Amino acid sequence: MDKLWGGRFKKEISSIMLDFVASIGFDKKLVKYDIQGSIAHAKMLKKCQIIAEDEANKIINGLSNILEEINSGNLTVDDQSEDVHTWVESQLMAKIGNVAGKLHTARSRNDQITLDERLYLKEEINIIQQKLKDLMEILLMVSKKYLGIIMPGYTHLQHAQPILFSHHLLAYFFKFNRDLERLQDLFKRVDVLPLGSAALGGTSYPIDRQFVAIELNFSKVSPNSIDAVSDRDFIIEFLSDAAMIMLHLSCLSEEIILWSSNEFDFIELDDSFCTGSSIMPQKKNPDAAELIRGKTGRVYGHLMALLNVMKALPLTYNHDMQEDKEPMFDTVEVIKKSLTVMTGMISTVHIKQENMTDSLKGDFSNTTELADYLVKKGIAFREAHRIVGEIVLYCIDKKKNIEHLNLEEFKNFHSTFQDDVLSILSPADVVNSKNSYGGTSIEKVKESIKEAEKTLEYI
Active site residues: 156, 277
Contact 5, 66 (CB under 8 A): no
Contact 433, 441 (CB under 8 A): yes
Which segment (87-95, 184-192, 313-321, 356-364) binds ligand ARG by CB under 6 A?
313-321
CA Rg value for the chain = 31
Which of 34, 83, 215, 369 is the binder for ligand ARG (CB under 6 A)? Answer: 83
Q: What is the dihedral of CA 441, 442, 445, 449, to 10 degrees?
A: 180
- Distance from C-alpha of 385 to C-alpha of 19, rounded to nearest angstrom: 70
The helix/strand/coil state of 165 is helix
Q: Which is nearer to ligand ARG, 27 or 179 (by Cβ)? A: 27
- The DSSP letter of residue 275 is B
Whole-number minimum distance, CB 306 to ligand ARG, in Å? 13
Whole-number minimum distance, CB 22 to ligand ARG, in Å? 8
Q: What is the dihedral of CA 393, 398, 399, 403, to 10 degrees?
A: -70
Q: Which is nearer to ligand ARG, 87 or 364 (by Cβ)? A: 87
* 110 near ligand ARG (CB under 6 A): yes
Which segment (59-67, 108-116, 169-177, 410-418) binds ligand ARG by CB under 6 A?
108-116
Question: Across the strands, what pairs with 154?
Answer: 159
Q: Which of residues 379-438 bind ligand ARG (CB under 6 A)?
A: none
Which of 109, 133, 209, 293 is the binder for ligand ARG (CB under 6 A)? Answer: 109
Which segment (213-221, 253-261, 317-325, 337-345) binds ligand ARG by CB under 6 A?
317-325
Q: At what angle do helices 381-398 and 367-376 cross, to 10 degrees?
A: 140
Contact 60, 117 (CB under 8 A): no
Distances (CA, A) of 135 to 163, 335, 340: 22, 12, 8
* 322 near ligand ARG (CB under 6 A): yes
Sequence letter at residue 111: D
* 321 near ligand ARG (CB under 6 A): yes
Whole-number minimum distance, CB 103 to ligand ARG, in Å? 16
Q: Which is nearer to ligand ARG, 14 or 423 (by Cβ)? A: 14
Which segment (106-114, 152-160, 257-265, 294-302) binds ligand ARG by CB under 6 A?
106-114
* 120 near ligand ARG (CB under 6 A): no
> CA nearest 360: which of 426, 445, 440, 421?
426
Which of 23, 161, 331, 343 is the binder for ligand ARG (CB under 6 A)? Answer: 23
Which of 113, 115, 207, 292 is the binder for ligand ARG (CB under 6 A)? Answer: 113
- Distance from C-alpha of 349 to C-alpha of 69, rounded to nearest angstrom: 43
* 316 near ligand ARG (CB under 6 A): no
> CA nearest 370: which of 429, 438, 440?
429
Which segment (120-128, 174-182, 315-323, 330-338) binds ligand ARG by CB under 6 A?
315-323
Contact 421, 433 (CB under 8 A): no
Binding mask 272-311 for ligand ARG (x = CB under 6 A): ----------------------------------------
- Distance from C-alpha of 166 to C-alpha of 446, rounded to nearest angstrom: 9
- Enumerate helices (H) and strands (E) in the chain, giving the number of each: 18, 6
Which of 120, 238, 266, 317 is the binder for ligand ARG (CB under 6 A)? Answer: 317
* 259 near ligand ARG (CB under 6 A): no
Contact positions vs ligand ARG (CB under 6 A)? 23, 27, 83, 109-110, 113, 317, 319, 321-322
